[in-house]
Chains A and B, each alone.
Chain A
Amino acid sequence: MDWTLLIDKSILVLVVFAISLGVAAYATYGERKIAAVIQDRIGPNRAGPFGLLQPLADGVKFFLKEDITPTGADKFLFVLGPALFIITALMTSAVIPWGHSFFIDGREFSLQVADLNVGILYILAVVSVGGYGIMIGGWASNNKFALMGAIRAASQMISYEVPLGMALVAIMLYSNSLSLRDIVDMQQGFRWNVFYQPLGFLLFLICTFAECNRAPFDLPESESELIGGYHTEYSSMKLGFFLFAEYINMFISSALIACLYFGGYHFPGLDSLGLHPNLLAVISILVLFAKILFFIFLFMWVRWTVPRFRYDQLMNVGWKVLIPLSIVNVLITGAWLTFVK
């Protein structure tokens, strides 16, 4: 066992963890501000300058609220639900390459926790396990609305996992690798996958919206019909975990979209500048985060623009439109790779 590697990776894990939580916290603030701008309101402006301390105030509020466990609830599973949900939300970040490597004392310091040779499949595995938190939480609440929300979440996640996986299959075919580092490095010099996989990108984007339970696919929690869906019975920080995990999911999904389709940390002309490797690493991280922030903004923009789907529409779109399209996309990619390239 190489101890320096272990220490390097532990530091990186902690940093990524802290950044994910920080971005998620400020995404809640960003969402309220963007909603305010779109609806011609002012938004949070009381806590600190421009309301910048609002996430902190929200966090304190979550911790201080009374923590209620319903009488008929399954005590153990009621706690396990939100815990699982936030763990799976944080797990995906392990395979994302955050930037070029740092070089300190001639030693390479990779900005990727684990360069798995099955990186993309790891993402699929975590996504497919992600639904359990909602299902367990919704069921353990012993509430009809919560159960309905949980069942909707489960069926939605199963349905949209299929086109998501097929979109990833096209990416695997095209880049000839399952490692995210390879896929990102292949897009060096503005050869972004989105130009070669436009349909795949669209499918992936729609499916990530569904997997994150974001509007227009927020049926599991739809406030106006299910009161709050799977987290109806939750209060205090357990509710906080559910809400927070949604924003972490959004952050990680944006990072994935940036890595898979928009060149990750690459930027046209970045390599021709001839910069010092460490400076290059810093710039590459900033470039990736700019892309991520844009996609987080896109998530919010769509939420406050598009109305919610009806349940049967959701299933129709998933099974009758997205899955055939994703299969066509894989076929076209395969044919193109065999006959043209």
Chain B
Amino acid sequence: MDQLIFFSLSALTLLSGLLTVFSRKSMYSVLSLIFCLFTVAGHYILLNAHFLAITHIIVYAGAIMVLFLFVVMLLNLNTTSDKSKAFYFRAAAVSGAGMLFLVLIASLKSTTLGAYYAPTDTGMGVVEHVGKRLFTDYLLPFEISSILFLSAMIGSVLLAKKEKK
């Protein structure tokens, strides 16, 4: 049962991911990315990380992708504008994606492809567990990332205010 769900979820994830890249209309691109995020949340649930799955949906599908959709809607980017892109722009995109691919290969090289197995520790992703870990073992990175967020927030407010004058 778990295996069946895993494989169908993975197929959907890959399919929606590919659709994100290959859609001609940017609106469909954004929507397939949202769908992709949902399937990834499904994977988290399969791994018993319920808290992570729900926060994943709230933060990415619920907040960040709404902003993406917002921008696409406002700019009305429905028509593809392939012709306006210059050669150097395309070359930069291709080399950037190639480099990302290289990094992915390097990181995947050392992993071994094993069979799918269900997680044994069912209490792993429960809120209490995640919270305890965050506030004991990973306290410093947790606090530092909160400072990072705060600085990003202050920075964006400052930038927005500057433009008004």
Contacts and interface: CB of A to CB of B under 8 A. Distances in A.
B57 A125 contact: yes
Interface in A69-87: 74, 77
Contact of B1 (A1, A121, A158, A178): A1
A128 interface: yes
Contact of B73 (A122, A125, A150, A158): A150
B18 to A, nearest CB: 18
Interface string B115-140: 00000000000110000000000000
A286 to B, nearest CB: 32
B73 A117 contact: no
A131 B69 CA distance: 11
A279 interface: no
B50 to A, nearest CB: 5
Given A118-B54, A121-B58, A125-B54, A147 B73 contact: yes
A151 B54 contact: no
Interface string A113-155: 0001110011011011101100110010000000100110011
Nearest to B57: A125
A129 B50 contact: no
A279 B154 CA distance: 57
Contact of A118 (B51, B61, B66): B51
A161 interface: yes
A121 B73 contact: no
Main secondary structure on B side of the interface with A: helix
Interface in B1-52: 1, 27, 31, 34, 50-51
Contact of B55 (A121, A129, A136): A121
Contacts of B106: none
A42 to B, nearest CB: 43
B74 interface: yes
Contacts of A121: 51, 54-55, 58
B73 A135 contact: yes
Nearest to B50: A118
17 contacts: A1-B1, A74-B27, A118-B54, A121-B51, A121-B54, A124-B54, A125-B54, A125-B58, A128-B66, A129-B57, A132-B34, A135-B69, A136-B69, A154-B66, A154-B73, A155-B70, A158-B66
